[in-house]
Amino acid sequence: MTTQVGDAYIRVVTSFTATDIPSQDGRTIVVTGANGGIGRVTASVLAEKGARVVLAVRDVDKGLAAAATMAGSLEVRRLDLADLSSVREFAGSFTEPIDVLINNAGISIPPLTRTVDGFESQLGTNHLGHFALTNLLLPQVSGRIVTVGSLVHLVGRIDFADLNWTDRKYRPYGAYGQSKLANHLSAHELQRRLTAAGSSVISVVAHPGIATTNLMDVEGRGLRHRIEKFFVQSVAHAAEAGALPSLYAATADVAGDSYIGPSRMMGMRGAPAPAKRAAKTKNAGDAGRLWEESERLTGTTFPLGRIPYRPVIATEGTSS
């Protein structure tokens, strides 16, 4: 795995495990989607390390059941990322300081469905819900925003003419790829805005590689599904390993706009480390354009001052 230093890339190898996480005493950390998968592991480990962890979940009963299996200071609050009124209610009730916000929740490859606000469900949940939540909570965040991405962003494409799949034929994989590329672009633009505003808060992206979580347990038939299921079962690592990049991004000494992922098998598994990112995740024009459109769709804005918009520039990797 590589990380950029100036214009060069150097190989980085770590042996990071949960035991390497320093004490989190006195810190408040919010984890979305913390009742299952890597979010549940992330919340559990951080609570064990002394953090006060808020499990932000759509189903409170499932959140309470998950919290009952964990040790430490835990709180469960309802958050439905597919409903902007729920996002606003959650943010409005959260008046205390936050050290780290981990935007972890997500859905993967469902049939065409729409959120309460009419967005395609994967874009609405994976990107727009978290986008709104981040803007609304940002004045209270003192440390960092961790966005959980996916290797699927590599095949993602942003269709600015039809973000919500109202005119084109719906493709579940295409919609998932778009939503995860949107996560990366939004996190990149967030760091630009934080820097321009003079904020010490940083934005970091982490991806779990291929992890055996319920997000990957997609029903389906046919040869393609059988091949994909076999591939996942062959290379996937456990949720405990899949959570390590998020934990590294949340607690290690990393720079803003870092990208963290597994360090073996082309990022599919292994200990977390800074990773080389695809050029399209840093496309200034796409990132700025997506941010403006996301502000329009969610009715939320960057809260730390007006930051000039960068116009779309036709460069390599432009998704429009």
Tell me, yes or no, if 9 is annotated catalytic: no
Over residues 131-135, the mean pLDDT reads 98
| Per-residue pLDDT at 261 | 85
| Per-residue pLDDT at 307 | 83
pLDDT band for position 199 (50/70/90)? very high
pLDDT band for position 177 (50/70/90)? very high
pLDDT at 245 over 50: yes
Over residues 232-259, the mean pLDDT reads 81
Q: Are 13 and 1 in contact (CB under 8 A)?
A: yes
- 174 or 308: which carries more pLDDT confidence? 174
Distant-in-sequence, close-in-space partners of 224: CB < 8 Å, separation ≥ 6:
none
pLDDT at 8 over 90: no
The tokens for 38 are 């890597």
- 54 or 214: which carries more pLDDT confidence? 54
Q: Torsion over CA of 158, 31, 86 and 288, rounded to 10 degrees?
A: -30
Domain boundaries, the chain: 2-298
Over residues 174-202, the mean pLDDT reads 96
Counting Cα atoms < 13 Å in the Cβ hemisphere of 10 gives: 4
Over residues 125-132, the mean pLDDT reads 98
- Give the N- to C-terminal CA distance of the chain in Å, as an integer: 29
pLDDT band for position 239 (50/70/90)? low
Over residues 28-42, the mean pLDDT reads 96
In tens, the pLDDT along 136-168 reads 999 999 999 999 988 777 788 999 999 999 999
Write b or e for each residue in 250-270: b if 16 or more Cβ atoms lie within 10 A of its Cβ, otherwise e.
bbbebebbbbbbbbeeebbbb
| Per-residue pLDDT at 204 | 97
**CATH architecture under which domain 2-298 falls:** 3-Layer(aba) Sandwich (3.40)
**Angular region, 64: left φ>0, alpha ψ -120 to 50, beta rest:** alpha
How wide is the angle at C-alpha 38 spanned by C-alphas 34 and 41, nearest 5°?
70
3-state helix, strand and coil shares in percent for the chain, rounded to the nearest 5: 40, 20, 40
| Per-residue pLDDT at 255 | 94
Residue 47's closest CA among 20, 68, 29, 65? 29
Over residues 180-200, the mean pLDDT reads 96
Q: Could you give the C-alpha distances from 40 to 13, 118, 260, 309, in angstroms and in order?
A: 26, 28, 19, 37
Residues in the chain: 320
Over residues 60-66, the mean pLDDT reads 98
Strand (E) positions, the chain? Answer: 2-5, 8-11, 28-32, 52-57, 73-78, 98-103, 141-148, 202-206, 259-264, 269-274
| Per-residue pLDDT at 212 | 53
| Per-residue pLDDT at 267 | 47
| Per-residue pLDDT at 288 | 95
9, 170, 173, 176: the active-site residue: 176
Mean pLDDT, the chain, whole residue set: 85
pLDDT at 215 over 60: no
Return phi, psi of residue 170, to 5°.
-70, 130
Task: Determine the Cα–Cα distance for residues 51 and 57; give it in Å rounded to an integer.
Answer: 18
In tens, the pLDDT along 68-126 reads 999 999 999 999 999 999 999 999 999 999 999 999 999 989 999 999 999 999 999 99
- Other CB atoms within 10 Å distance of the CB of residue 49: 20
| Per-residue pLDDT at 81 | 98
pLDDT at 40 over 60: yes
In tens, the pLDDT along 248-307 reads 999 999 999 999 987 544 445 467 788 888 899 999 999 999 999 999 999 999 999 888
Q: Helix, strand or coil for residue 314?
A: coil
